[in-house]
Chain A
Amino acid sequence: MRTITYAKALNEALDESLQADEDVIIYGCDVGRWGGIFKITGGLQTKYGADRVFDSPISENVLVGAGVGAAVMGLRPVVELQFADFLITAGDEVFFKAGMWRFMHGGAFKVPMVLRLPSGETGAGPEHSACPEAYVMHSPGLLCCVPSTPADAKSLLKQAIQSDNPVMFFEHRRLYQQRGEIDDDAPLIPFGKAAIRREGRHVTIVAWQMMLNRALKAAETLAEEGIEVEIIDPRTLAPFDFDTILTSVKKTGACLVVEEGYRRLGVGAEIGARLFEEALPYLDRPFRRLAIPDVPISSIPALVNRIIPTVDQIVATVREMAA
């Protein structure tokens, strides 16, 4: 076991994928010479050459669309959009081309591409701060990763690059410098397998990335009060491991989703709806959500912190649920 940062884990996943498969290419704004604005692709152009790791113009539509075209012709492109928000800028290419090109041509193609999407609040304003994974979870034809630890980040990114399907890969910027243990001999994590980050019997919390960190912190405070929460990290939102949540809810009878996306029709709304459909007999308290209220995310920390779910809010909500 060794300890590395989430950023380093992503860089290693890219490095090892380039090493293993000549068909892997990486491109995006600033990813070449500069190593990416968040330095995830650092050193890769020097090591593998500018024909495999290269810079692009600021042209999100063609960045994603060319990824689909290159994938159709047998490459495995890994494309970086600098901010996950730009998923919407390239909406035609993400949702119609990556998500549907194979389907609308009757399965004639495989689309093995990965779109790397650094997400989360950075104080850079409403168009550079969102966690828009619910859009992907809502849309057919796309896989969706939301890794929370360095080990998961590396494993899921390698798995995403090896996948024959298009993968939207959300990396949380606030986690880039977070360190964690990694086992280099561990097999790759399969898509659609949640992790239980903490076991407990009173309330089930579903959270990922920065909200997972906050949920884990809240759990410590709650444990001191005798409230034992079970925390589930879905790791991938498409496919989604509902069974692990269902098993937990059968035990706890209560579920809270904490997410950094917008509340209305967010990931939590989907989980709540499924619990209502499939787990009503096991829920003895109302399902709850903590999410960003439905306003844009501003650029001033005081305003941002007002709307992103906090440790204190998680503690308070679970106390109400456990009462």
Chain B
Amino acid sequence: MRNDVLADIFRKSLLTRVFEDRFVKLAMEGVVPPLLHPGAGQEVAQIAAIAALKDDDPVLYAHRGTGYMIARGVSMRAMLADCAGRAGGTNNGKGGIMHVVDTSKGIFGESGTLGGGLVISVGMGMAVKKKKTGQVVVHFFGDGGSNRGTFHESLNWAAVQKLPCVYICENNGWAVSVPVSESTAVENIADRAHGYGIPGVIVDGADPAAVMDAVRTAAERARSGQGPTLIEIKAIRLRGHYATDPQDYRADAAEVAKNDPLETLRARVISMGLMTEAEVETLLTECEAEVQQAVEEMQASPPLSPEAAFEDVMV
């Protein structure tokens, strides 16, 4: 793995963490609704996965975290505006943080019903295959979403059609308050790939090189017409289900926090000599300033007209 790529993944992961922590603060202050599902603990893997793709490969993201958007350079000001009901957002106030969209950056949105995007990805795969664009459709979802019937219908039909799709399940062990051991019959979500005759791959979400390798291999396979791959990222969820979730159902939070992939990556970047401690501190300050500027710009934007409620229903 190239050092500059690793450093970029670290920089974007740190920016994501700072952005989301600020978002949670804004939610506590009542500036935005607490609807962000923080991706802390999963951002390194999200950003590494995106780094293995081409910039125009369409992405349908999971509901947890904003690493996908930060990786593709979606405006933080616009995402905040979506949530705060201000002008200049990506979805005109219609979808908040759950439905951030920027097709110019390959960000194609998210389903409000979890696992609901899987079916959309199949049609997107059919379209890019028919139009021979050479793109790969990448769909992220959680272990919870993988228990929807849409998972079965979508992976089966995508495999039958050998669609250029990559399915990435971020298994963080929790579907809201229910541990995966109580909701899911198999130990690994990737084991289900056997049921569709496609490769099932497991990677450690704290290892960006492993994530990149797995996604690159899957994308090459998809691009060459061999069909989809199911990748399972073993991830951890550092925060609650939503921004202000007290997580009183959970006993493992303190233990999990010791294995923060961002901390692991930070130590690695320093030990490899890519950055000094001081440079990481400077980077953190820069990220905070960038987020602060996004917040200020969002707050300077006018509120959306309530009449926007009637717009964007149909062409």
Q: Return B89 CB to nearest CB of chain A, in Å.
A: 7
- Whether B27 is near chain A, meaning CB under 8 Å from some CB there, is no
Question: Which residues of A22-77 have CB atoms within 8 Å of chain B's CB atoms?
Answer: 25, 51, 56-57, 59, 61-62, 64-75, 77
| Candidate in A74, A104, A165 with the most chain B CB atoms within 10 angstroms | A104
B4 at the interface (CB under 8 A from A): no
- The complex places the Cα of A140 from the Cα of B108 at a distance, in Å, of 21
Q: Does A110 contact B (CB under 8 A)?
A: yes
Known pairs A61-B150, A101-B109, A105-B95; A25 contacts B130 (CB<8 A): yes
Q: If the complex has contacts A62-B157, A102-B312, are A75 and B130 also in contact, measured as CB distance less than 8 A?
A: yes
5 closest A-B pairs by beta carbon, nearest first, are A65-B119, A69-B123, A73-B127, A106-B91, A66-B123
Interface flags, A97-133, vs B, CB<8A=1, else 0: 1000111111111100000000000000000000000
State A51–B94 Cα separation when bound (angstroms).
Answer: 36
A-B contact pairs, 6 of them (CB 8 A): A62-B118, A65-B122, A65-B123, A104-B99, A106-B90, A164-B315
Query: CA separation between A73 and B312, bound complex, in Å?
Result: 18
A51, A97, A106, A109 — most chain B CB neighbours (10 Å): A106
A51 touches B130 (CB 8 A): yes
**Assuming A51-B130, A61-B150, A102-B314, is B123 touching A77 (CB within 8 A)?**
yes
Q: Which residues of A contact B244 (CB under 8 A)?
A: none
Residues of A contacting B103 in the complex (Cβ-Cβ under 8 angstroms): 108-109
Residues 115-174 of B contacting A (Cβ, < 8 Å): 116, 118-128, 130-131, 149-150, 153-154, 156-157, 160
Per the bound structure, the CA–CA distance linking A68 and B98 in Å amounts to: 18
List residues of chain A with CB within 8 A of the CB of B39.
none
A87 to B157, CA, bound (A): 19
Complex Cα gap A54–B105 (Å): 32
How far does the Cβ of A236 sit from chain B's closest Cβ, in whole Å?
13
Q: Could you tell me which residues of chain A, from 1 to 37, have a CB within 8 Å of some CB in chain B?
A: 25
| Residues of B with C-beta under 8 A to A71 | 123
For residues 81 through 125 of chain B, which have their beta carbon under 8 Å from a beta carbon of chain A? 82, 89-95, 98-99, 101-103, 108-109, 111-113, 116, 118-125
User: Knowing A101-B109, A102-B312 touch, does A59 contact B94 (C-beta < 8 A)?
Assistant: no
**Residue numbers in B under 8 Å from A140 (CB-CB):** 313
Contact B128 A66 (CB under 8 A): no
Residues of A within 8 A of B (CB): 25, 51, 56-57, 59, 61-62, 64-75, 77, 92-93, 96-97, 101-110, 140-141, 143, 164-165
Given contacts A101-B109, A105-B91, A105-B101, contact A66 B315 (CB under 8 A): no
Nearest residue, chain A, Cβ from B91: A106
Cβ contact of B119, chosen from A57, A64, A109, cutoff 8 A? A64
A residues in contact with B112, CB < 8 Å: 96, 104
| B residues 260-315 in Cβ contact with A at 8 Å | 311-315
Once the chains bind, are B94 and A68 in contact (CB under 8 Å)? no
Minimum C-beta distance from B214 to chain A (A): 24
Q: A65-B116, A105-B101 are in contact. List 13 more A-B contacts (CB 8 A).
A: A62-B122, A65-B119, A66-B126, A67-B123, A69-B126, A92-B113, A96-B116, A97-B111, A104-B99, A104-B112, A106-B93, A106-B99, A109-B103
Distance A59 CA – B119 CA, assembled complex (angstroms): 10
- CB of A102 within 8 A of CB of B119, answer no
CB distance from B229 to the nearest CB of A (A): 18
Closest A residue to B161 by beta carbon equals A54
- Let me know if B205 is at the binding interface, CB within 8 A: no
Once the chains bind, are A74 and B131 in contact (CB under 8 Å)?
A: yes
**When the two chains form the complex, which single residue of A56, A74, A101, A107 contacts B120, counting CB atoms closer than 8 Å?**
A101
> A59 and B157 in contact (CB under 8 A), knowing A25-B130, A68-B123, A71-B123?
yes
Q: Are A165 and B119 in contact (CB under 8 A)?
A: no
How close is A115's CB to chain B, nearest CB, in angstroms? 13
B208 at the interface (CB under 8 A from A): no
Tell me if A59 and B99 are in contact (CB < 8 A): no
Contact of A75 among B89, B113, B126, B311 (CB under 8 A): B126
| Residues on the A chain within 8 Å of B156, using CB | 57, 59
Q: How far is the CB of B24 from chain A (nearest CB, A)?
A: 23
In the complex, how many angstroms separate the beta carbon of A90 from the nearest chain B beta carbon? Answer: 9
Q: How far is the CB of B91 from chain A (nearest CB, A)?
A: 3
The one of A62, A105, A143 that contacts B99, using a Cβ cutoff of 8 Å:
A105
Chain B contacts for A104, CB-based, 8 A: 91, 94-95, 98-99, 109, 112
Closest to A62 in B: B153
**CB nearest neighbor in B for A113:** B123
Task: Report yes or no: B127 in contact with A106, Cβ–Cβ below 8 A.
Answer: no
Are B95 and A73 interface neighbours, CB within 8 A? no
CB <8 Å contact, B314 and A69: no
Contact between A108 and B120 (Cβ–Cβ < 8 Å)?
Answer: no
Whether B124 lies near A73 (C-beta < 8 A) is yes
- How many angstroms from the CA of A102 to the CA of B101 in the assembled complex? 11
Q: Is the beta-carbon distance between A70 and B312 smaller than 8 angstroms?
A: no
Most chain A Cβ neighbours within 10 Å, of B82, B102, B112, B313: B313
Given contacts A59-B156, A70-B123, A108-B91, contact A102 B150 (CB under 8 A): no
Residues of A within 8 A of B91 (CB): 104-106, 108
Pair B94/A106 contact, Cβ less than 8 Å? yes
Inter-chain CA distance A69–B135, complex, in Å, is 14
B23-61 contacts to A (CB < 8 Å): 58
| Contact for A56 among B108, B116, B157, CB less than 8 A | B157
Residue contact B315 to A61, C-beta cutoff 8 Å: no
* A59→B123 CA distance, assembly (Å): 13
Taking CB as reference atom, which chain A residue is nearest B122?
A: A66
Q: In the bound complex, how far is the Cα of B113 from the Cα of A96, in angstroms?
A: 9
Q: What are the interface flags for B186-228 relative to A under an 8 Å C-beta threshold, 1 for contact and 0 otherwise?
A: 0000000000000000000000000000000000000000000
